[in-house]
Amino acid sequence: MSVDSPRRIVLLRHAKAEWSQESDHERPLAERGRRDAPAAGRWLAGAGITPDLTLCSTALRTRETWKLAVHELPQRPRTVYEDRLYEASLGELIAVVNEVPDEVDDLLLVGHNPGMHALADALSGEADGELLTQMNRGGFPTASVAVVTFNGSWKSVEHGVGRLVAYWTPRG
């Protein structure tokens, strides 16, 4: 695959988690989250999104979200659980994306807010105005998905490089 080939970054925020006595990292999904995560997977499958690689935060709620969502996909992508996605800033998220090997065309990140929303917004230099307005008005709720396309190497990912081409929420 050429470095100039179209690439896709799919950003999935974890589904709704319970507030519990556990540490934040070990919070499980709430009942609503267990319903919304498979719905996100069905949306991904229906949109024809089959990632080559999934990078998932190590937090329990993101791992549970991905486990429920991936069952809805026609094939299971290679999945790497990445500590750096937990509580990652925008700059840290971009640094992780910059390390993705160029043989990957479609990357899916399963992470947390405010990072997922910030990354979708920052990368979307071009967007359907209505999609961007919808995403920013809604605040990127749990189990939301944003899809950003761009051309070039993963090392070239930076602010404004992409185009927001899809945005989905379970309540949408």
Using DSSP bridges, classify how beta strands 106-111 and 145-151 pair: parallel, antiparallel or unpaired. Answer: unpaired
Cα 162 to Cα 150: distance, rounded to the nearest angstrom: 4
Cα 142 to Cα 132: distance, rounded to the nearest angstrom: 17
pLDDT, tens digit, for every residue of 65-103? 999 999 999 999 999 999 999 999 999 999 999 999 999
Cα 1 to Cα 145: distance, rounded to the nearest angstrom: 25
DSSP assignment, residue 77?
P
Structural domains of the chain sorted by starting position, each given as residue range(s) with its CATH number in brackets: 6-168 (3.40.50.1240)
The pTM for the full model equals 0.95
Contacts of 120 (CB under 8 A, 6+ apart): 11, 135, 140, 146, 148, 164, 167
Cα 143 to Cα 129: distance, rounded to the nearest angstrom: 22
pLDDT at 104: 96
pLDDT tens digit at each of 172 positions of the chain: 456 678 999 999 999 999 988 899 999 999 999 999 999 999 999 999 999 999 999 999 999 999 999 999 999 999 999 999 999 999 999 999 999 999 999 999 999 999 999 999 999 986 667 888 889 888 899 999 999 999 999 999 999 999 999 999 998 7
